[in-house]
């Protein structure tokens, strides 16, 4: 009698324990399990998602390529001997030295991101979320020379200018030539290491304006730089699959309550007390390694990027310098890939009228 009563109680207790253990394990695995692939894919997507840089000045003079180490980067279409921060000049805004480029894409790539050199592609610009900078360069100032190189990725530094590493990353000029308009013509072809370090200390910061002024005959003008925010908003992308609408009303079943008119049966048997602890089985919980099913028809909405980038605006005197040198740079240095379509505004002519006119001329 006791065995018949204990057996159902034991089965009920066992059925209650096992599902609870199994459900708890699966929830923990989904929340803290190995999701490295998912995280890696997300990081790659974010690394290549810079919609604010999808502008004509980059798309026309270069191409976007995927590099495993850096993700999606921009490769300028230029001649082989080209290097960043050469076609332009330096100007002073009262606090910093600002690079004014003669290249159409200079307002982006010289004030945002980093640069790296690839033997396969050449120079690569790596976009980033960094704030606008007067010039993304690495400085060196020693003796009567001033040098700069593009900011490198991952907080790395280029070797010293006098170290031969087969990459022409540095531009070095004499201090008296630092404010020249066409500064690339004054770059030193070879740089030697400073022998007397005590008299020629190496400074790894932007040049002191007072020291530069001491090497110049004319006073350095302070140029006002205006920063115009440019927003390239990307509209959310969604699928055109309409949601399924169900116009049928829900079916409700109403079941009458069951009345039990029979009085409870009382027995004289006292309740059985089970002093034995519940038996726990060593059955491991069931782990579900099946990946979740992704519905490809669901609407995927991509958040719009509302980040503003700065388009540097210089005063008219500086614009005249840019207009003086930019045509030559575009002709001799840059290779335009995707020219803007040319709209022909010439009035349309009627072929019939032309033929009639021709016939009249022939008759004469």
Is 347 a domain residue? Answer: no
- Does 247 or 168 have the greater pLDDT score? 168
What's the burial of 178, exposed, middle or buried (CB within 10 Å: 0-12/13-18/19+)? buried
In which residue are the tokens 């100007």 written? 91
Cα(106)–Cα(136) distance, integer angstroms: 11
pLDDT winner (highest mean) among 209-218, 252-261, 267-276, 280-289: 209-218
Sign, Cα dihedral of 105, 110, 111, 115: positive
100-132 burial, b at 16+ Cβ within 10 Å, e below that, comes to bbbbbbbbbbbbbbbbbbeeeeebbbbbeeeeb
* Residue pair 183/177 in contact by the 8 Å Cβ criterion: yes
The pLDDT tens digits of the residues spanning 214-235 come to 999 999 999 999 999 886 544 4
Whether the predicted pLDDT of 327 surpasses 70: yes
Q: Look up tokens 């990946």; give the residue.
A: 291
Span of 56-70, 79-93, 187-201 with lowest mean pLDDT? 187-201
Please report the pLDDT score of residue 15 as a whole number: 57
Asked if residue 155 is part of any domain, the answer here is yes
The answer to whether residue 267 is domain-embedded is no
How many structural domains comprise the chain? 1
Q: Is residue 106 part of a domain?
A: yes
Domain span holding position 56: 48-235+307-332
The predicted-structure confidence for 35-75, as pLDDT tens digits, reads as follows 332 222 333 333 345 666 777 788 899 999 999 889 999 99
Confidence class of residue 164 from pLDDT cuts 50, 70 and 90? confident
The stretch 177-200 carries a mean pLDDT of 81
pLDDT over 80 at 287, yes or no:
no
In a domain, 186, yes or no: yes
95-99, 182-186, 274-278: range with lowest mean pLDDT: 274-278
Mean pLDDT over the full length of the chain: 74
Q: With respect to residue 39, please indicate whether it lies within any of the assigned structural domains.
A: no
Taking alpha carbons only, the member of 178, 171, 183, 174 closest to residue 147 is: 171
pLDDT at 33 over 50: no
Residue 57: inside a domain, yes or no?
yes
Cα→Cα distances 189→49, 79, 174, 184, Å: 39, 18, 12, 11
**pLDDT at residue 230 in the model:** 80
User: Is residue 18 over pLDDT 80?
Assistant: no
Higher pLDDT, 266 or 106: 106
pLDDT at 190 over 70: yes
Q: What is the pLDDT at residue 281?
A: 58
For residue 10, is it within any domain?
no
Whole-number pLDDT of residue 23: 37
**Average pLDDT for 117-143:** 92
């Amino acid at each position: 009698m006791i065995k018949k009563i204990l057996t159902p109680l034991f089965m009920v207790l066992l059925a209650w324990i096992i599902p609870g253990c199994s459900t708890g394990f699966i929830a923990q695995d989904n929340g803290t399990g190995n999701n490295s692939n998912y995280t890696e894919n997300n990081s790659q997507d974010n690394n290549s998602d810079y919609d604010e840089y999808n502008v004509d000045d980059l798309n026309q003079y270069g191409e976007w390529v995927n590099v495993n180490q850096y993700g999606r980067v921009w490769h300028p279409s230029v001649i082989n001997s080209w290097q960043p921060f050469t076609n332009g000049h330096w100007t002073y805004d009262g606090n910093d030295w600002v690079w004014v480029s003669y290249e159409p894409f200079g307002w982006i790539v010289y004030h945002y991101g980093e640069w790296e050199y690839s033997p396969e592609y050449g120079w690569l610009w790596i976009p980033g979320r960094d704030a606008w900078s007067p010039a993304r360069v690495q400085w060196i100032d020693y003796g009567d020379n001033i040098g700069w190189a593009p900011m490198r990725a991952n907080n790395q530094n280029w070797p010293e200018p006098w170290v031969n590493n087969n990459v022409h990353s540095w531009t070095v000029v004499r201090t008296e030539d630092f404010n020249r308009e066409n500064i690339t013509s004054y770059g030193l072809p070879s740089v030697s290491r400073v022998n007397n370090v005590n008299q020629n200390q190496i400074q790894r910061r932007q040049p002191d304006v007072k020291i530069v002024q001491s090497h110049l005959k004319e006073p350095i003008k302070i140029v006002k730089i205006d920063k115009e925010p440019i927003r390239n908003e990307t509209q959310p992308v969604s699928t055109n699959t309409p949601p399924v609408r169900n116009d049928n009303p829900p079916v409700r079943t109403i079941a009458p309550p069951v009345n039990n008119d029979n009085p409870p049966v009382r027995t004289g048997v006292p309740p059985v007390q089970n002093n034995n602890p519940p038996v726990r089985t060593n059955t491991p919980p069931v782990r579900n390694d099946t990946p979740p099913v992704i519905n490809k028809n669901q609407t995927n909405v991509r958040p719009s990027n509302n980040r503003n980038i700065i388009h540097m605006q210089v005063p008219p005197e500086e614009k005249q310098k840019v207009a003086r040198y930019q045509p030559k740079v575009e002709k001799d240095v840059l290779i335009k890939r995707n020219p803007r379509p040319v709209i022909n505004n010439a009035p349309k002519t009627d072929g019939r009228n032309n033929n009639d006119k021709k016939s009249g001329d022939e008759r004469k």
